[in-house]
Amino acid sequence: MKRTSMLLFAAAALFMVSCGGENTEETTVEEVSYTADASASTISWKGEENEQHFHVGSIKLKEGSLTMKGDELVSGSFVVDMNSINSETEGYPAEKLAYLNNHLMDTAFFFVAEHPEVKVDLNSYADGKLNATFHLLGTEITQDAPVTIEQDENGAVIKGKFGLDISSTTMPYLKEVNEETGGPALKPELQFEVNIVLKK
């Protein structure tokens, strides 16, 4: 009887290990691809000479895509439409805003006729920092941006605020001097706030 009980116990233990024991198989994480919803996405900008003298506005996303594997970035790129740049400085006369928009698109700033788009390549994402390469005015600017990438069953959202150092570009206005202050007419770091909406 004792021998029979031991055999039954051993059989039960073997059954539990084979059926309900630790699962050594790794769960496969699949890649998920998203397409940017340009109409639902927003990009705000701020350019300043100093804290008292600055302009703010918006610019539109043209297209983009993102591929993630869990929380890991696989690939991604976006295209910004430079012809959509718009000044929205509060209290600034409308006629001056129109002039500023044209000025931003001319050869003093972004050379939009020659460079109608800015491409952004996504390189990696870790610890809340997105490493990206911005193709601006024929120059590649690679840096980290503190943004979040949130995913759910419907899509993904990239959002955050960051500064972009454009001192390495050939933008002529960076070399301009304010005659009143003697300082630079434009700080070389532009500020951006993005809310990029993506769908599966």
pLDDT at 16: 47
Which pair of tokens denotes residue 51?
Answer: 């804290």
> Which whole number is the average pLDDT over 150-159?
97
The CA R_g of the chain, rounded to the nearest whole Å, is 26
| Band of residue 14 on the pLDDT scale cut at 50, 70, 90 | very low
Beta bridge mates, 65: 35, 77
The HSE-up count of residue 36 (CA atoms within 13 Å, CB side) is 22
What is residue 29's three-state secondary structure?
coil
Instruction: Judge whether residue 117 has pLDDT over 90.
Output: yes
Residues 6+ apart with CB under 8 A from 55: 46, 47, 48, 87, 89, 92, 100
Question: What mean pLDDT is reported for the chain?
Answer: 89
Q: Over pLDDT 90: what percentage of the chain?
A: 76
Burial class (CB in 10 A: 0-12, 13-18, 19+), 185: middle
Residue 184 banded pLDDT, cuts 50, 70, 90: confident
pLDDT value at residue 22: 52
Domain 31-199 - what CATH class? mainly beta
2 vs 148: which has the higher pLDDT? 148
The tokens describing 39, both together, are: 């109409």
Q: Residue 15, Cβ neighbours under 10 Å: how many?
A: 11
18-62: pLDDT as tens digits? 555 455 456 799 999 999 999 999 999 999 988 888 999 999 999
Question: Rounded to the nearest 5 degrees, what angle is found at the Cα of 34, between the Cα atoms of 74 and 138?
Answer: 65
The pTM of the full predicted model, rounded to 2 decimals, is: 0.84
- Percentage above 70 pLDDT, the chain: 87
Q: Is there a contact between 164 and 190 (Cβ–Cβ < 8 Å)?
A: yes
